[in-house]
Amino acid sequence: MDTVRCASGRLASIVMRIGILGTGNMAATLGGAWRRAGHDVLVGGRNPASGGATLRDAATHGELVLLAVPAQVAPPLAADLADVLAGRVVLDCTNPLEPGPDGPMLMIPPGESVAARIAAAAPGAAVVKAFNLCHDSIWTLDPPHFEGLPLAVPYCAATPEAGERVAALIASMGCTPAPCGGLARAPYLEATAALAIGVWFAGGRARAIFPEPAQAT
């Protein structure tokens, strides 16, 4: 097993090759967090500068591949790269949201998810919905801890093996993996983003909504 002592001093037990499709905010901040954790990250864009990586280069590089593009772009992009994505873990951080009168609304019908559309577009890939709940700036915190506790990162994974890889990735960032079931439950993560963003925009404390497990039931 490869290990590396990263800049932050954390020991990343598994060095992962990660490809990021997209060069925007999430690519920069999640990519930065993963590099700090010691991983080997390649970011690719649709209009690479001379010598820069293309989307296909980045997909080829990653045993894990993050789709850091708009929600409506992710399924067709996955279809374009389905040959490369086969056999890889595909991370979906997208939020299919549009503004509504009382806060953000889902752009897709209830029960559907972008994650499932990506899985249908790239049937050989193991899709994991994750990293969609926090603003990109959170991934610049080193470590992302709040009130003395590591940030919990929920994820829904198409397969247990893909879930284990993503759990290891989350742990390497100094966060706590929070498994939330299979891809059939990804619509709940996408809806949770709509709900939480609405609470935050209204000035509420989304973090304060949930009790500790002992008081939960």
Ligand X SMILES: NC(=O)c1ccc[n+]([C@@H]2O[C@H](COP(=O)([O-])OP(=O)(O)OC[C@H]3O[C@@H](n4cnc5c(N)ncnc54)[C@H](OP(=O)(O)O)[C@@H]3O)[C@@H](O)[C@H]2O)c1
Binding site for ligand X (CB under 6 A): 22-27, 45-47, 68-71, 73, 77, 93-95, 132, 135-136
| CA separation for the pair 187, 83 (Å, rounded) | 26
Q: Which is nearer to ligand X, 71 or 126 (CB)?
A: 71
With beta carbons less than 8 A apart as the criterion, state whether 156 and 189 touch: yes
CB of 139 to ligand X, least distance (A): 9
Q: Which is nearer to ligand X, 137 or 217 (CB)?
A: 137
Q: Which is nearer to ligand X, 10 or 34 (CB)?
A: 34
CB of 180 to ligand X, least distance (A): 16
Rg over alpha carbons for the chain, rounded to the nearest Å, is 17
| CA separation for the pair 91, 99 (Å, rounded) | 25
Residue whose C-beta lies closest to ligand X: 24
CB proximity list for 212: less than 8 A, separation 6 or greater: none
Give the total residue count for the chain. Answer: 217
| CA separation for the pair 145, 136 (Å, rounded) | 15
CB of 212 to ligand X, least distance (A): 26
CB of 124 to ligand X, least distance (A): 20
Q: Which is nearer to ligand X, 132 or 172 (CB)?
A: 132
CB of 8 to ligand X, least distance (A): 22
Cα separations (Å) of 136 from 87, 116, 161? 28, 23, 26
CB of 117 to ligand X, least distance (A): 13
The number of beta carbons lying within 10 Å of the beta carbon of residue 186 is 29
With beta carbons less than 8 A apart as the criterion, state whether 206 and 176 touch: no
Q: Which is nearer to ligand X, 12 or 29 (CB)?
A: 29
Q: Which is nearer to ligand X, 46 or 145 (CB)?
A: 46
Give, as one character, the DSSP assignment of residue 52.
Answer: P
Distance of CA 117 to the CA centre of its chain: 16
The interaxial angle of helices 114-121 and 186-201, nearest 10 deg, is: 140
